[in-house]
Structure 1
Amino acid sequence: MINSILDTDLYKFTTSYAYIKLFPYAIGTFGFTDRDETSYTEEFLEELKEAIKQLAQIRLKPDELEYMTGHCRFLPRVYWEWLSSFRFQPEKVAVYLDSDRHLHIEVTDYLYKATLYEVPILAIVSEKLNESLGRVANMDQVIQRLSDKVKLSNQHHLSFSEFGTRRRFSAEVQDRVIEYLTHQALYCTGTSNCYFAMKYDIKPMGTHPHEWFMFHGAQFGYIHANYMALENWVNVYDGDLGTALADTYTTDAFLNNLSRKQAKLFDGVRCDSGNEYEFTDRLIARYQEFGIDPTTKTIIFSNALDFDKALDIQRHCANRIRCAFGIGTNLTNDTGFKPLNIVMKLTRCKMNANQEWRECVKLSDDAGKHLGSTAEVQACLYDLRLVPLTIKNALPTTSIG
């Protein structure tokens, strides 16, 4: 199921290193959310706990260390040497079902370690649920669907990366999909999964996640979170990994915070929620306000895409701004069964053990996808001047999303 510590997304390692460099004493909690509110069984819960226990056996192997050192120049060898001593600690993972049989998972640790749990746990939940329900992927059908997508990409010069580890049907399905892409897809630029990048000698892809911005929002305030998160990313990576994530606190807040220096320095922006066409038009206009030629910049679209929609977006961007696509579930979980809609996000953090916990929230350009308590989400929206604050909407209730 998870047989290598590299069986995760590259951005988990880049973010882990950024925490080590700038916030080595910061502590955080990651919490699991099933947006479909799936009901799980006790049998599934026990199988999941056992699978998480097995993570303790995983370590970075010598050949993996050499591969990552040679293929990720932006991460120093000392990081990979530290990672070779890292071990997952299943006792830090709290897993249980509530009275409605909804699944809860929490991990608390120093952030440079806690961040490494997210992707493996999500992949395990997805694969274990499919196993428990007796679902078996028909690989002939999976490859046939994939063949049609690759033909479309090849025909229209549609550049994309495989981003499907977190919600994959299984490790085997993802393996077969990437193997096919490696041999047949002319415009597949790489994969976010470091293990499969190594196995198939393709480029590992990724930059930074929402959690980086959520941490900055909780610690330094929502108004300046986007700006400070990007500045600190540059402080660590000096211009490498230059795709800025736009939607942690909505595109409105991102574009308002974006400085001319950052707009020039970052190679482009990732659009992970909202209306892609409106986002494109607004970002182009913002670049033009700064006197920047939009055709020198790239938008990475990654919001639950399929290839038909990606092609339509590409046509909208044509001759106006560069574009590429990160496609996940549509590649690694297009099996005929409904994929889980699950995430694992940073829910609270503190700068060191002596500080108080601060709640983390994530807004979204998609309705219903805000994460955090109602009171904190409303406070965030108010700080960013996205809604007026009233006594009624400031009352703390349950999580939104």
Structure 2
Amino acid sequence: MPAFVPVIASLLDNDLYKFTMWQAMLHRFPQTTAEYAFVCRNEPRFPLADLLDEVNEQLDHLCTLRFTDDELAWLGALRFIKSDFVDFLRLFQFQRRFIRAWAEGGQLRIHAAGPQVHVMDFEIHVLSIVNELYFRRVDQAQALEVGRERLRAKIDLLRAVDVAPARAHPLEIFDFGVRRRFSGAWQREVVATLRDEVPEFFKGTSNVLLAKDLGLVPIGTMAHEYMQTFQALGVRLRDFQRAALEGWVQEYRGDLGIALTDVITMDAFLADFDLYFAKLFDGLRQDSGDPIAWGEKAIAHYEKLRIDPHTKRLVFSDGLDIPKALAIYDAFADRALTGFGIGTHFTNDVGHTPINIVMKLVTANGQSVAKISDTPGKTQSKDETFLAYLRQVFNVPQA
């Protein structure tokens, strides 16, 4: 038997937005229960069920980890992290009884269920575990050789960018690659290399541990699960987006001001994103649909509200690579602040097809929740009746 090598060695090895959503839910709805389900959206090289024993071994290890004093001191120094949340994390430990992995018809199933503040943080760790176990079965030396060659090409492409002083706003790129990375070690190498080689463009990472260790800005605000949870928190369904945005404003009071727009499509979001929210939030994040069309809608909305788009940031994070990011930047660099979160293209471009895996919120307080994406393939719900009702309430046509 080969020696056990943990995929996750630190609970800080996670996206910042998991911590910011976690804090908001702990403060406002600590009693909420939730279920999260793992899904693979594409066809892997071999059945992921083959990884079951290794996944369970890694989950056993994950549930032994605790935050260290050093990690908590660093996290607590972020001005938007409250001391009582740090105290909670000091006591926190994953409970193995809240997560289960099994094989079913050749598929790997992973299900986490329990109090939301005890299960919501499983997501990114589970995805990192499955990814790294999957790619441990390829030739590591060859993959890293390809990855370094491609990383060098990306750096050369960035260095060739002509960001003339005439452009109104700078090109700013971030690493968003925790969930789909080839390995934790490779993500660290990629992020450190980008920090050292193109600091004029590379401005931070969503990985909190790497931000701490490499002296970078941690990047992130909210994900879909935060907004979706409000579909089951007792507010009128038509008002769930406004309730979620208001809860965020009350929690962070000016910090972390980038709102996610595609929980029920950009059009339905903008119908709720009135002058009040448009002034309170610093900008918007695009995670599905046509990025150019989305950016045009965002700018038009700000202009309609008589808000100068140059004072707002448009963050793009949907399946980006460097050429796509540069094309979007070219379209909006003179019209608004921009930012580009690049994931798989940075942390899993090593010559092997990545697996498209997610672990999403499916119920809260026993009630189904749903996402109606601007990309039809990303729409998600296990309850077609609730999905149809959500479409009706927000007047979102079937794709």
Q: Give the secondary structure class of the aligned counterpart of 2:359.
A: strand
Alignment match, 1:13: 19
Return the letter of the residue paired with 2:187.
Q
Alignment match, 2:230: 216
**Pick from 206, 210, 229: which aligns with 1:196?**
210
Q: Give the secondary structure class of the aligned counterpart of 1:240.
A: coil
Contact (CA 8 Å) 1:153, 1:159: kept in 2 or not?
A: no
Give how far 1:280 is off. Answer: 0.8
Inter-CA distance 183–218: structure 2 relative to 1 (3 Å threshold):
same
Give how far 1:277 is off. Answer: 0.6
2:74 pairs with 1:67 = yes
Take 1:133 and 1:178, find their aligned partners in 2: how far apart are those partners? 22
Inter-CA distance 42–363: structure 2 relative to 1 (3 Å threshold):
closer
Alignment match, 2:110: 105
Moved more, 131-140 or 284-293: 131-140
Q: Give the secondary structure class of the aligned counterpart of 1:49.
A: helix
Alignment match, 1:384: 394
Give how far 1:308 is off. Answer: 0.2
Alignment match, 1:368: 377
Aligned positions, number: 381
Tell me the alpha carbon deviations over residues 308-335 of structure 1, each in whole angstroms, 9 at most, x when there is no partner: 0100000110211111100010000001
Give how far 1:23 is off. Answer: 0.4
Moved more, 154-163 or 267-276: 154-163
Return the letter of the residue paired with 2:221.
T
**Pick from 91, 96, 103: which aligns with 1:90?**
96
Q: Give the secondary structure class of the aligned counterpart of 1:368.
A: helix
Q: Give the TM-score, by structure 2 length.
A: 0.92
Inter-CA distance 41–262: structure 2 relative to 1 (3 Å threshold):
closer
Alignment match, 1:179: 192
Q: Give the TM-score, by structure 1 length.
A: 0.91
Gaps of 5+ in 1: 351-356, 389-399
2:280 pairs with 1:265 = yes
Q: Give the secondary structure class of the aligned counterpart of 2:136.
A: helix
Tell me the alpha carbon deviations over residues 164-217 of structure 1, each in whole angstroms, 9 at most, x when there is no partner: 000101111111101111211221111101111111111111101100111112
**Pick from 232, 235, 251: which aligns with 2:247?**
232
Alignment match, 2:54: 47
2:345 pairs with 1:338 = no
Tell me the alpha carbon deviations over residues 66-122 of structure 1, each in whole angstroms, 9 at most, x when there is no partner: 11112x1101122122212111122211111212x1221111122122111110000
Take 1:374 and 1:330, find their aligned partners in 2: how far apart are those partners? 33
Alignment match, 1:36: 42
**Pick from 58, 61, 65: which aligns with 2:65?**
58
Contact (CA 8 Å) 1:370, 1:377: kept in 2 or not?
A: no
Give how far 1:385 is off. Answer: 0.9
**Pick from 313, 332, 350: which aligns with 1:317?**
332
Contact (CA 8 Å) 2:49, 2:107: kept in 1 or not?
A: no
Give how far 1:379 is off. Answer: 1.5
**Pick from 143, 148, 162: which aligns with 2:175?**
162
Q: Give the secondary structure class of the aligned counterpart of 1:330.
A: helix
Return the letter of the residue paired with 1:365.
D
Moved more, 281-290 or 211-220: 211-220
**Pick from 147, 152, 170: which aligns with 1:147?**
152
Take 1:242 and 1:318, find their aligned partners in 2: how far apart are those partners? 20
**Pick from 66, 76, 79: which aligns with 2:82?**
76
Take 1:319 and 1:134, find their aligned partners in 2: how far apart are those partners? 45
**Pick from 113, 120, 125: which aligns with 1:120?**
125
Return the letter of the residue paired with 2:345.
N
Return the letter of the residue paired with 1:294.
P
Contact (CA 8 Å) 1:69, 1:77: kept in 2 or not?
A: yes
Inter-CA distance 137–29: structure 2 relative to 1 (3 Å threshold):
farther
